[in-house]
Amino acid sequence: MDSRNRILMSLRYITARLLPTLLGIVTTLLFAWSQFTELPLLHSLQQRAEFLAYDLRLNASLPQNQPPDPRIVIVDVDEKSLGLEGRWPWPRDKMADLTDRLFEAGAVVVGYDIFFSEPERNKAEAVLKELQSSNLSDAPLIKTIEALVPKFDNDQRLAASLADRDVTLGYLFHAEPTQPVGILPEPLLSLDQTQAHRSGIKAMPNYTASLPLLQQNAFSSGFVTTWPDPDGIIRRTPMLIRHGNDIYGSLSLNLAKLYLFLDEVQVNTAPIGETDAVESIVLGGTTIPTDGQGFALVPYKGAAGNFPYLSATDVLNGQFDETVLEGAIVLIGATAVGIADLVATPVKNIYPGVEVHANMLRSILDNDFPTTPPWADGANLVITLSIGLLLALLLPHLAPPTLLILSLATAASLVWSNFWLWQEKGIALALAWPLILIIALAAVVISYGFLSENRKRAQLKGMFGQYVPPQLVDVMSQTSESFGFEGESREMTVLFADIRGFTTLSEKLSPAELRTLLNRYFTHMTEIIFDHQGTIDKYVGDMIMAFWGAPLYDPDHAKHAIQAAMQMLEKTAELKPILMAEGYPEVDIGIGLNTGLMNVGDMGSSYRRAYTVLGDNVNLGSRIEGLTKFYGAGLVVSETTMAGQDGVVFRRLDLVKVKGKTEAVKVFEPLCTQEQATTELLKELQRHEAGLEAYYRQAWDEAKGIFTPLNQQQPETRVYSLYLERIAELRHRNPGPDWDGVYERREK
């Protein structure tokens, strides 16, 4: 029995010693296998981890204070350009003028990250068709307009500007089930049916390209299609796309080809199974390393602004330093709100898409590309197995402090070598998965030791666990479901401003006039809101919604909102005679403010999101804005907004129950600051308050005796005549002793 016990004890000892090693080996093999598995969850987990590691490594290695590259200049259709040149899209003759200005200033190559897929309407031709289809037979007039048709052909004007110049147009490949638009340029390469079937280059079935007239006059064209990684970040971009049997090049590739006076592009492939995978693209002396589909890593060198920017309107008007364009490659793109091509990148969440092309172009010129080489998968496997097996053999035999030191040293060595390969050789190998493996192996060994030493306590816990409910109420999950979104609850102040009589006003104006009026109005109002630390939520028609107190905390949010609203009214009064002198109708606005708890955050769908506020107090703010016309006041605020604002003089308006609300709210009209208040105004407000007190006591004669002279002295103040009307009505129907003085507003 003693011999048998000794054998059992030996087996237990060996098992105890070998089991953590075996667990480590199994863990290592699982991590190695996971690098090649297509299991969605595991593959996604590994991919996201490597994406994060790639972004951290890229940002850590970015050069500090790198000056903009003068060889590549971005001409930007920005907010300033839209404000001065008009709405987008611009007429083609304006784009032709822009092209002319660029080449006159010394640009050598121009690339458009903008589409010209639809013909522009010829105004003279449209008028001619109207005349010809009408009963008018004014032959001289028709002949005159016929002569003007070529002068208004802006497509022809742009085509003439492109002709005989080194211009590359942009176009888009996509998979939408629509008819192709425009015509494609000459392909870089054409394959036979067998080659096309074997090609690993990503194929796209459809496109939106340039007008035939423009395509035929431009020197070349390149696609601007990009695809983000699964997490929405653009880390790589296609250099080649296959359409049918033809291979087409990107905008950056064709611009470089044009700039370097090259006629051919060499595509190097290698057979992998039944696919010819793309290994690299050779352009002159530059080798662009790619993955099997023809995608290249984007060589970001910093956040947005790594290239000289010129506003398009400044170029059109000659208000720029022409030396900036001498000998430069120019990329024309857009960053203005509403037309901006903005993407998420590892270096910045909101990044101009045109700079993605600029970065690719710069690296082609410098022959400086990061790469994930074809042998990367093999190298990642070797690294994973080497680190994993070494630690699996060593860690179980070490004391906890030594185990931690060895694990940290191994992780530090891995990070250093990985960064060195990236920094010195431009090679991107896996980093996150081997690091996670090191953590996992250390956790396995530590956990095993902890479990072994505390087996009895673990068993007791397991037994006790039988009496623990299997699930607990997830408070945060319930809260999220209740509100319908994830957000933060804060006390804030919301503003709604609306142009009065907008429907009538819009009927008096043409669409162009209405747009001009709204643009001017929104510009001035937005500037005031920004000046008072407000956040614009949205524009809806003629309405502006804004709020105070987020994203940055503002303890004086109500004060700043009132100040902004009062200044908005002053600005509207200042603009009114100017606009009327220009032929616009009279413009008045009503503004409502409310303060209270609101939910604020980044909300929306995966397609579009917005930083906005929601909640009952937001809805109340909208209803209060609707009261402005009823009370004849430009600005109405709730009692919560008025509270604590001793520096402002208010007129108490009413105790009102707005539509959709069960509780009444006191509303006030801010009139001016205490410093601006005159003695006459203060006396008027005292009499007004006395009238209200009599009104709520149902002392109708007393209230009428106060409001009547006030109405005679201030007939433009609507609230006085309003109370006189109510007094007459209430005197007639006698509301009784239970009357609470609440006025119920049934309209919005």
Average pLDDT over residues 117-143: 70
Residue 399: how many other CB atoms lie within 10 Å: 9
Domain identity same for 385 and 236 = no
- Banded pLDDT at 10 (limits 50, 70, 90): low
Nearest to 208 by CA among 116, 272, 297, 140: 116
Question: Which residues neighbour 403 within 8 Å (Cβ) at sequence distance 6 or greater?
Answer: 395, 442, 445, 446
- Banded pLDDT at 472 (limits 50, 70, 90): very low
Domain identity same for 195 and 343 = yes
Q: Is the pLDDT of residue 331 over 80?
A: yes
Q: Is 147 a domain residue?
A: no
- Establish how many alpha carbons lie within 13 A of residue 146's alpha carbon, considering only the half-sphere containing its beta carbon: 8
Q: Give me the DSSP letters along 246-271.
A: EEEEBHHHHHHHHHTT----EEEEEE
Q: Is 112 a domain residue?
A: yes
> Tens digits of per-residue pLDDT, 241-287?
999 999 999 999 999 999 999 988 999 998 888 888 888 999 988 99
Domain identity same for 437 and 461 = yes
In angstroms, the Cα distances linking 746 to 578, 629, 662, 689 are: 36, 14, 12, 25
3-state secondary structure at position 468: coil
Q: Are strands 329-334 and 72-77 parallel, antiparallel or unpaired?
A: parallel
- Banded pLDDT at 203 (limits 50, 70, 90): very high
Q: State the Cα–Cα distance between residues 301 and 359, nearest whole angstrom.
A: 8
User: 119: which DSSP letter?
Assistant: P
Residue 251: the pLDDT is 95
Average pLDDT over residues 50-69: 86
Question: Which residues neighbour 264 within 8 Å (Cβ) at sequence distance 6 or greater?
Answer: none
Q: Is 580 a domain residue?
A: no
Q: What proportion of the chain, given as a percentage, has pLDDT over 90? A: 35
In angstroms, the Cα distances linking 739 to 722, 734, 746 are: 18, 9, 18
Residue 692: how many other CB atoms lie within 10 Å: 21
Average pLDDT over residues 611-617: 86
Average pLDDT over residues 517-539: 86
Helices 376-394 and 2-34 cross at an angle (nearest 10°) of 160
Q: Is the pLDDT of residue 75 over 70?
A: yes
Give the residue from 308, 338, 366 where a domain finishes.
366
CB 652 within 8 A of CB 670: no
Nearest to 189 by CA among 90, 281, 287, 62: 281
Domain identity same for 713 and 695 = yes
Alpha-carbon torsion, ordered 681, 687, 693, 694, to 10 deg: -150
Domain identity same for 83 and 225 = yes
Q: Is 192 a domain residue?
A: yes
Q: Is 197 a domain residue?
A: yes
Average pLDDT over residues 499-519: 80
Domain identity same for 84 and 173 = yes
Nearest to 238 by CA among 298, 286, 181: 298
Domain identity same for 460 and 416 = yes
**Per-residue tokens: 211:** 């007008």
- Banded pLDDT at 609 (limits 50, 70, 90): low
Q: Is 451 a domain residue?
A: yes
Task: Return the residue matching tokens 């609507």.
Answer: 718
Helices 154-162 and 92-104 cross at an angle (nearest 10°) of 20
User: 139: which DSSP letter?
Assistant: H
Residue 74, phi-psi category: left (phi > 0), alpha (psi -120 to 50), beta (remainder): beta
Give the residue from 366, 397, 421 where a domain finishes.
366
Domain identity same for 231 and 263 = yes
Most distant CA pair in the chain: distance in Å?
126
Is pTM, for the whole model, over 0.75? no
Residue 110: the pLDDT is 95
Domain identity same for 109 and 223 = yes
Range with the poorest average pLDDT among 48-57, 208-217, 655-664:
655-664
Average pLDDT over residues 701-710: 89
Q: State the Cα–Cα distance between residues 142 and 254, nearest whole angstrom.
A: 45
> Tens digits of per-residue pLDDT, 415-427?
999 899 888 888 8
Q: Are strands 635-638 and 589-604 parallel, antiparallel or unpaired?
A: parallel
Side by side, which strands form the sheet with 240-243? 189-190, 246-249, 240-243
Q: Which residues pair with 197 in a beta bridge?
A: none
CA 400 to chain centre: 48
Alpha-carbon torsion, ordered 126, 129, 133, 137, to 10 deg: 110
Q: Are strands 286-289 and 275-283 parallel, antiparallel or unpaired?
A: antiparallel
Domains: count for the chain: 3
Q: Which residues pair with 243 in a beta bridge?
A: 246
3-state secondary structure at position 333: strand
Give the residue from 441, 467, 493 where a domain finishes.
467
- Banded pLDDT at 456 (limits 50, 70, 90): very low
**Per-residue tokens: 478:** 């319930």
Q: How many residues does the chain have?
A: 748
- Banded pLDDT at 491 (limits 50, 70, 90): very high
Domain identity same for 56 and 115 = no
> Tens digits of per-residue pLDDT, 126-136?
666 766 666 66
Domain identity same for 448 and 380 = yes
Domain of 56 in residue numbering reads as 2-63+375-467
**Per-residue tokens: 293:** 């589909």
Q: Is 180 a domain residue?
A: yes
Domain identity same for 380 and 355 = no
Q: Is 645 a domain residue?
A: no
CB contact burial 458-468 (16+ within 10 A = b; e otherwise) = eeeeeeeeeee
Q: Are strands 743-744 and 665-673 parallel, antiparallel or unpaired?
A: unpaired
Q: Is the dihedral of CA 506, 511, 515, 517 positive or negative?
A: negative
In angstroms, the Cα distances linking 236 to 51, 162, 356, 737 are: 11, 30, 9, 76
